[in-house]
């Protein structure tokens, strides 16, 4: 017994642990190399929501640059984004040459987007069954709930500072004060439903609207949020 106790007493806890996790990332879809135009457009976006982009992790998507004959100045692009408060964490898509240049600049290459992968497939796999996740209590500030491959149903309120995410639809049977992101894997048919819209951010398939962009006439109303021709639409629900 003494030896056994000494053995356990001598063991040290590991200094760290590696785990996979889900994070909401902003994707910058790059279409041209005009640095002045990029900076001007970036300044306009940040002016709309000064605090939203502060220290925001950003993934640079190069799918729109596949036909560009010129190289990309990733160091310059990194400095430009950092100067506006954003934090580039990697790139996705792009040509092998662009990916190699990104690695030399210290930017990791992330998996391609689902849309790019689907374009490369000659056959579409049969759709996987959807699985809903039900949260039967209010979601507090700092909490995050995710429903992979299905809908998220919240039987209560979503507090400011909380985040609800789903590959499919989001149903909130209470006040939405935090962030709600539906169709996060590119499903443009996904929708958000809530009993009272007071959100910090709502997003469908990456198209988002922040609190400042929600009309006062839409606030505190039962609403559904969906895309129409790539535009985020808020409609009132009849009670």
Which tens digits make up the pLDDT trace of 1-45? Answer: 444 444 445 557 778 776 655 666 778 888 887 888 888 888 887
pTM: 0.59
In a domain, 3, yes or no: no
In a domain, 16, yes or no: no
Looking at the fold, whether 80 and 140 belong to one and the same domain comes out as no
In a domain, 10, yes or no: no
Number of structural domains found in the chain: 2
What is the span of the domain harbouring residue 84?
26-113
Are 87 and 59 spatial neighbours (Cβ–Cβ below 8 Å)? Answer: no
- Residue 43 belongs to what H/E stretch? helix 35-48
In a domain, 53, yes or no: yes
Looking at the fold, whether 149 and 102 belong to one and the same domain comes out as no
CATH classification at residue 78: 3.30.70.260
Looking at the fold, whether 152 and 212 belong to one and the same domain comes out as yes
Looking at the fold, whether 137 and 108 belong to one and the same domain comes out as no
Looking at the fold, whether 102 and 145 belong to one and the same domain comes out as no
Measuring CA to CA, which residue among 102, 100, 99 is closest to residue 88? 102
In a domain, 121, yes or no: no
* Percentage of residues of the chain with pLDDT beyond 70: 80
Q: What is the mean pLDDT of residues 181-209?
A: 91
Spatial distance between the Cα atoms of 159 and 179, rounded to a whole number of angstroms: 9
CATH classification at residue 208: 2.160.20.70
Looking at the fold, whether 63 and 95 belong to one and the same domain comes out as yes
Average pLDDT in the chain: 81
């Amino acid at each position: 017994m003494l030896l056994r106790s000494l053995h356990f007493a001598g063991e040290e806890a590991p200094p760290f642990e590696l785990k996979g996790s889900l994070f909401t990332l902003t994707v910058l879809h790059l279409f041209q190399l005009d640095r002045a135009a990029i900076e001007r457009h970036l300044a306009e976006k940040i002016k709309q929501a000064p605090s939203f982009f502060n220290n925001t992790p950003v993934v640079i998507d190069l799918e729109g640059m596949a036909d560009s004959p010129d190289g990309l100045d990733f160091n310059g692009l990194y400095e430009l984004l950092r100067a506006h408060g954003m934090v580039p964490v990697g790139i996705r898509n792009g040509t092998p040459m662009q990916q190699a240049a990104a690695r030399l600049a210290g930017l990791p290459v992330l998996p391609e987007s689902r849309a790019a992968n689907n374009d490369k497939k000659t056959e579409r796999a049969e759709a996987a069954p959807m699985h809903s996740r039900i949260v039967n209590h209010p979601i507090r500030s700092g909490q995050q709930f995710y429903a992979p491959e299905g809908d998220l149903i919240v039987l209560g309120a979503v507090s400011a500072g909380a985040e609800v995410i789903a590959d499919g639809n989001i149903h909130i049977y209470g006040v939405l004060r935090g962030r709600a992101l539906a169709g996060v894997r590119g499903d443009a048919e996904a929708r958000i439903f809530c009993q009272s819209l007071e959100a910090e951010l709502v997003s469908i398939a990456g198209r988002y609207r922040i609190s400042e962009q929600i009309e006062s006439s839409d606030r505190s109303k039962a609403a559904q949020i969906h895309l129409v021709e790539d535009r985020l639409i808020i409609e009132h629900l009849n009670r």
